[in-house]
Amino acid sequence: MNNAVTKERLAEILDRAIQDVTEQTAGVRLNQNNQSPGEDICTVHITFDKGFSTSLTLCADTSLLYRMARNSFHEDEVPPEDLEEFAKEYFNVLCGKIAGAMFQTTQVAAHFGQPMFCRGRYEPEGQEIQFVLTYSDENSASAQLIHHVPCSHTDGTVSEQS
Amino acid sequence: MSKRVMVVDDSRLVRVQMEDVLAGTDYQIVAHCRSGEDAIKQYGEVQPDLVTMDIIMQGMDGLDAAEIILKNNPDAKIVMISSLAYGDTFERAKAIGAKGFVDKPFHQEQLLKVFGQALQ
């Protein structure tokens, strides 16, 4: 059985998952484009600790995350601690969707730990960017979903962890 | 009479979503536990008809918490609600006696169907 997923197939899985989960969880429609987030950004990051040697990072305009959190909590104002909680839960669900789709494709059950949240940009150590998907909402607020692989991994596939 | 539900999830967002989905149904949320340890402690006091259990939580995870609750209360009806609804996680949930598994993000129709099956 081939447990590797091509970069192109993985990008399709990520794209489908982020669009579906964002709309279902927060009622926000994201469209893929080339508009990078601005300077006021937040990052959520998850490392897959079983199944695949890979990690995912969402780097988004803070205004976009606040909008999504307000929609999800049905509140006009969301305090910063609830923004963090929202971002972690949203990203946890998103990564679960991605891992579920990967399982359908490879029969490899990937596991991941608690999401990490920070203000600003975060670059995981020992990993390099394999590809970036960039999105914006109808208010032109942006987000990037970044797929990282270990620095030595260069063949363009994501393989089962040995 | 409405069925009493205990929600175990470290996310307030899930509680809000669960309240939305269960509004106007025969299910009422009577407790919200934010950890597996809290769920074990509260189960005996609350005596819910149904427990919804997240898997990835700080401290004890939902599978371990469900296993302990079921060991102490074999008639407990526990539905796992998680984004990890596949592979060995799914198999372990079945093995410890969980009555169902709902994928996040959940929908009302899907949730009520699994709740109904769990309580049969």
pLDDT along chain A (162 residues), means of 10: 75 96 95 93 92 90 97 94 95 93 87 91 89 96 95 63 50
How far is C-alpha A47 from the chain's CA centre?
11
B83 vs A85, A95, A108: nearest CB: A95
User: Domains of chain A by range and CATH?
Assistant: 5-154 (3.40.1550.10)
The answer to whether the CB atoms of B89 and A103 lie below 8 A apart is no
Q: Is A99 on the interface with B (CB under 8 A)?
A: yes
CATH superfamily, domain B3-107, is Response regulator (3.40.50.2300)
Residue ranges covered by each domain of chain B: 3-107
Question: pTM (2 decimals)?
Answer: 0.88
**Which of A57, A62, A28, A31 is closest to A45 using CA atoms?**
A57
What residues contact residue A106 under an 8 Å CB cut-off, 6+ apart? A1, A2, A3, A4, A5, A160
Task: Please confirm whether the linkage preceding B48 is cis (ω < 30° from 0).
Answer: no
Q: Is A124 on the interface with B (CB under 8 A)?
A: no
B11, pLDDT greater than 80: yes
Predicted ipTM of the assembly: 0.83
- Other beta carbons within 10 angstroms of residue A84's beta carbon come to 18
Quote the minimal CA–CA distance from A90 to chain B in Å. 9
Q: Is B86 on the interface with A (CB under 8 A)?
A: yes
Q: Which residue of chain B has the CA closest to A20?
A: B105
The answer to whether the CB atoms of A89 and B13 lie below 8 A apart is yes
Q: Which residue of chain B has the CA closest to A109?
A: B87
Quote the minimal CA–CA distance from A108 to chain B in Å. 8
Strands A55-61 and A142-150: antiparallel
pLDDT score of A108:
86
Q: Please list every residue in chain B whose beta carbon sits closer than 8 Å to the beta carbon of residue A88.
A: 11
pLDDT score of A161:
55
Q: Is B35 on the interface with A (CB under 8 A)?
A: no
- Helix, strand, coil percentages (3-state) for chain B, rounded to 5, are 45, 20, 30
Q: What whole-number distance in Å separates Cα of residue A147 and Cα of residue A12?
A: 12
Q: What whole-number distance in Å separates Cα of residue A91 and Cα of residue B64?
A: 23
